[in-house]
Amino acid sequence: MKHDRPIYFDHAATSWPKPPEVLDGMRRFLEEIGANPGRSGHSMSLDAARMVFETREAVAELFGLDDSAQVVFTANATHAFNIALQGMLQQGSHVITTAMEHNSVIRPLRELESRGVIELDIIPCTNTGTVCLDTLDARFRPNTGLVAVQHGSNVTGCVQPIEKIGALCSRRRIPFLVDAAQTAGCLPIDMKAGHIDLLAFTGHKALLGPTGIGGLCIAGSRLPEPLYFGGTGSASEQEKHPLFMPDRLEAGTPNTVGIAGLQAALEHLRRISLAATVEKEQALRSRLVDGLHAIDGVRVYSGELPVVSFTIDGLTPDDIGYVLDRDYGIMSRVGLHCSPLAHRTLGTAPAGTVRFSMGYSNTMDQVDRAVQAVAEIAERSP
């Protein structure tokens, strides 16, 4: 039965609704500060610069990074990958990645491969989406220049053994790039413990910030070459782009309203605590997975994150998603979720799956209603 308010189960695409603090933080910035940070010397510009600095500090603290100057603000995770991959990889580099990656990693890598810059090695994963450490270990070559691995899957919610992969890379001094798009705000991440050199995150998913803001966190002294060049408000007497961080990798006026929203989102996360978020989302995930498993004709693809895919025998994901929305007011995502390789790994290509992804605002009652809806749809399936 359809209720007045939708059940929003598409948090892995972007979280909704955003906490009121995020809206307030963005409004406050526009109303009370508004100026361009690091450009003009007046007090409003200084206030804007202080807000950007404080947000960098909060991001660094969240991911266990010592120096907040190594936090680069980007538009999203995709932008961060492009900076990392195009800036780190040299002619002839061999790159290892996995058969669970999102197109935001695969496409920039395929582009570099087709330009003849890199040799790309996509390692297979188990049929539940996990990287096999022995397979990875066997692929290192003398010219391996980077390993890029997703922390958590946007298709199944499966989480990779990041710390072990990081240790394999660190032993060989090979930079390790982690896609934290689905795990930032959902799981604890410590760049030091994970031996992570480059961490890409996006602000609008589990961190609960607005769209248009994300970042690249860089540990250590190996820095990407700049991808963009332009005004930074620093070293203005030079015609060449400054090479010190974070200006090296940030050019042009930043998304200050987005950064203000991210700052408020990080404060919100600190207030409610990551541990409480994990506990609540895990309870929702278990209830959903148990409920779906109990329905005849439903196949479930799940892992550790509150991101669960399923199919119903005899129906296409498109049809299921349409009925969920039309008859039950449930917002899901259907198809390949920008991850065709992951679906080949799971055996769900080419149609893909229906994905329910949950977040802080969902309730057990919504999970029960969604399970009931899937049961009714499965019951009617041909």
Ligand X SMILES: Cc1ncc(COP(=O)(O)O)c(C=O)c1O
Quick note: the x/- pattern for ligand X over 333-352, rule CB under 6 A, is: -----x--------------
Q: Of the candidates 269, 204, 261, which has an alpha carbon nearest to the alpha carbon of residue 24?
A: 261
Binders of ligand X in range 114-143 (CB under 6 A): none
Min CB(85)–ligand X separation in Å: 13
* Count, residues in the chain: 382
Min CB(182)–ligand X separation in Å: 5
Dist. CA 83–CA 350, nearest whole Å? 30
Min CB(183)–ligand X separation in Å: 9
Q: Of the candidates 199, 151, 139, which has an alpha carbon nearest to the alpha carbon of residue 175?
A: 199
Binders of ligand X in range 306-325 (CB under 6 A): none
Tell whether residue 56 is a contact of ligand X (CB under 6 A). no
Tell whether residue 149 is a contact of ligand X (CB under 6 A). no
Residue number with CB closer to ligand X (131 or 295)? 131
- 225, 240 in Cβ contact below 8 A? no
Q: Binding segment for ligand X among 46-54, 60-68, 175-183, 297-305 (CB under 6 A)?
A: 175-183
Angle of helix 364-380 relative to helix 274-293, nearest 10 degrees, comes to: 20
Q: Of the candidates 288, 285, 286, 281, which has an alpha carbon nearest to the alpha carbon of residue 371?
A: 288
Q: Binding segment for ligand X among 75-83, 266-274, 277-285, 288-296 (CB under 6 A)?
A: 75-83
Interface residue with ligand X among 15, 45, 68, 154 (CB under 6 A) is 154
Tell whether residue 196 is a contact of ligand X (CB under 6 A). no
Dist. CA 268–CA 21, nearest whole Å? 7
Quick note: the x/- pattern for ligand X over 79-108, rule CB under 6 A, is: -----------------------x-x----
Q: Binding segment for ligand X among 76-84, 111-119, 126-134, 318-326 (CB under 6 A)?
A: 76-84
The phi, psi pair for 29, rounded to 5°, reads -60, -45
Binders of ligand X in range 11-30 (CB under 6 A): 12
* Count of residues that bind ligand X according to CB under 6 A: 14
Strands (E) located in the chain: 7-8, 71-74, 93-98, 118-123, 144-150, 176-179, 198-202, 214-218, 298-301, 307-312, 330-331, 333-335, 353-357
Residue number with CB closer to ligand X (68 or 150)? 150
Tell whether residue 150 is a contact of ligand X (CB under 6 A). yes
Q: How many CA atoms lie within 13 A of 285 on its CB side?
A: 24
Tell whether residue 195 is a contact of ligand X (CB under 6 A). no
- 189, 220 in Cβ contact below 8 A? no
Interface residue with ligand X among 11, 37, 63, 179 (CB under 6 A) is 179
Task: State how far the alpha carbon of 145 is from the alpha carbons of 74, 111, 118, 161, 173, in Å.
Answer: 23, 16, 9, 20, 9
Residue number with CB closer to ligand X (201 or 328)? 201
Enumerate binding residues for ligand X (CB under 6 A): 12, 76-78, 102, 104, 150, 154, 179, 181-182, 202, 214, 338
